Structure 1
Amino acid sequence: MSPRPYGHARRIRPSLRLAAATAVCGALLGASVLPAQAADRNPPPDRGAALRQELRALVERPDGPPGVVAVLRDGDRTKVYRAGVADVQSGRPPSASDHMRIASVAKAFSGAVALSLVDRGRLRLDDTIGEVLPGQPDQWHEVTLRQLLNHTSGLPDYSASQGFIDIISEDPRHHFESRRLLDFVADEDLAFRPGSRYAYSNSDNIAVALMAEAATGRRYETLLRELVYRPLGLTATSLPQGYRLPEPYLHGYQIDLQEGPVDVSEAISASGAWAAGGIVSTPKDLTAFIRGYAGGTLISERTRREQFRFIPGALSQPPGPGRTAAGLALYRYTTRCGTVYGHTGNTPGYTQLAAATADGKRSLTFSITTQTSLTDNPDLLAHVREVQEDFVCALLRG
Structure 2
Amino acid sequence: MRKTLPGRKIVAVGSLVALLAATTAAPALAVTKPGDEVDKALKTLVQDGVPGAQATVTSASGRTWSEREGVGNIETRTPFPRGSKFRAGSVTKTFVAVVVLQLVADGKVRLDTPIDRYLPGLVRGNGNDGTQITVRQLLQHTSGLHDFSRDIDIDEWRHRGAEPEELMAIALAQGPLFDPGKGWSYSNTNYIVAGMLIEKLTRRSVSDEIDARIVKPLGLRDTYLPPRDDERLPHPHARGYTPRDTGLVDFTELDPSAAWTSGGLVSTGEDLNRFFAALTGGRLLHRPQQAEMQRTMPVNLGVPGAEYGLGIVSVPLSCGGTFWGHRGSVPGFTTLSGAIPHGKQVNVVLNQDPLPGKASKDLFTAVDTGFCAS
Determine the structure 2 residue equivalent to 1:3: none
Determine the structure 1 residue equivalent to 2:37: 50
Determine the structure 1 residue equivalent to 2:71: 85
Over 3 Å counting, the alpha-carbon distance change for 1:171 and 1:355 in structure 2 is closer
- Summarize deviations over 1:24-77 as a string: whole Å, max 9, x none: xxx94599x978468845344333223223322322x2x522211111101221
Is 1:149–2:128 an aligned residue pair? no
Counterpart of 1:232 (choices 218, 224, 243) is 218
Identity %: 32
Q: How does 1:128-207 map to 2 (within 5 A)?
A: 128-138=114-124, 139-161=129-151, 164-165=152-153, 168-207=154-193
Q: 1:150 deviation in Å?
A: 0.8
Distance in 1 of aligned mates of 2:206 and 2:200: 10
Distance in 2 of aligned mates of 1:151 and 1:210: 16
Counterpart of 2:362 (choices 362, 375, 383) is 383
Is 1:214–2:214 an aligned residue pair? no
Counterpart of 2:250 (choices 240, 263, 266) is 263
Over 3 Å counting, the alpha-carbon distance change for 1:117 and 1:248 in structure 2 is same
* Amino acid of the structure 2 residue aligned with 1:310: T
Over 3 Å counting, the alpha-carbon distance change for 1:194 and 1:171 in structure 2 is closer
Farther off after superposition, 327-336 or 40-49: 40-49
Structure 2 counterpart SS, 1:102: strand
Structure 1 counterpart SS, 2:144: coil
* Amino acid of the structure 2 residue aligned with 1:77: R
* Amino acid of the structure 2 residue aligned with 1:69: Q
Q: 1:185 deviation in Å?
A: 2.5
Q: TM-score, normalised to structure 1's length?
A: 0.81
Q: How does 1:1-398 map to 2 (within 5 A)?
A: 28-29=16-17, 36=23, 40-59=27-46, 61=47, 64-74=49-59, 75-138=61-124, 139-161=129-151, 164-165=152-153, 168-240=154-226, 241-242=228-229, 243-255=231-243, 261-266=248-253, 268-315=254-301, 319=302, 323-337=305-319, 338-359=321-342, 361-372=343-354, 377-394=356-373, 398=374
- Summarize deviations over 1:191-242 as a string: whole Å, max 9, x none: 2121111110000111111111112222211111111111111221122223
Determine the structure 2 residue equivalent to 1:14: none
Distance in 1 of aligned mates of 2:43 and 2:155: 34
User: Is the CA contact (8 Å cut-off) linking 2:34 and 2:370 kept in structure 1?
Assistant: no
Residue segments in structure 1 that go unaligned for 5+ positions in a row: 1-26
Over 3 Å counting, the alpha-carbon distance change for 1:30 and 1:54 in structure 2 is closer
Q: 1:275 deviation in Å?
A: 0.2
Give the structure with the higher percent helix.
Answer: 1
Distance in 1 of aligned mates of 2:155 and 2:248: 20
Distance in 2 of aligned mates of 1:379 and 1:87: 22
* Amino acid of the structure 2 residue aligned with 1:325: E
Over 3 Å counting, the alpha-carbon distance change for 1:160 and 1:261 in structure 2 is closer
Distance in 2 of aligned mates of 1:116 and 1:334: 27
- Summarize deviations over 1:143-194 as a string: whole Å, max 9, x none: 1111111111111111123xx43xx443421121134421112344322121
Q: TM-score, normalised to structure 2's length?
A: 0.86
Distance in 2 of aligned mates of 1:101 and 1:174: 17
Distance in 1 of aligned mates of 2:88 and 2:25: 47
Over 3 Å counting, the alpha-carbon distance change for 1:313 and 1:186 in structure 2 is closer
Q: 1:252 deviation in Å?
A: 0.8
Q: 1:290 deviation in Å?
A: 1.7
Distance in 1 of aligned mates of 2:66 and 2:277: 16
Distance in 2 of aligned mates of 1:54 and 1:185: 38
* Amino acid of the structure 1 residue aligned with 2:372: C
Determine the structure 2 residue equivalent to 1:11: none
Distance in 2 of aligned mates of 1:183 and 1:116: 28
* Amino acid of the structure 2 residue aligned with 1:58: L
Over 3 Å counting, the alpha-carbon distance change for 1:39 and 1:312 in structure 2 is farther
Determine the structure 2 residue equivalent to 1:7: none
Q: 1:348 deviation in Å?
A: 1.4
User: Is the CA contact (8 Å cut-off) linking 1:72 and 1:80 kept in structure 2?
Assistant: yes
Over 3 Å counting, the alpha-carbon distance change for 1:200 and 1:114 in structure 2 is same
In the alignment of these two chains, the number of paired residues is 352
* Amino acid of the structure 2 residue aligned with 1:387: A
Residue segments in structure 2 that go unaligned for 5+ positions in a row: 1-14
User: Is the CA contact (8 Å cut-off) linking 1:65 and 1:253 kept in structure 2?
Assistant: no
Over 3 Å counting, the alpha-carbon distance change for 1:351 and 1:122 in structure 2 is same
Over 3 Å counting, the alpha-carbon distance change for 1:48 and 1:169 in structure 2 is closer
* Amino acid of the structure 1 residue aligned with 2:218: L
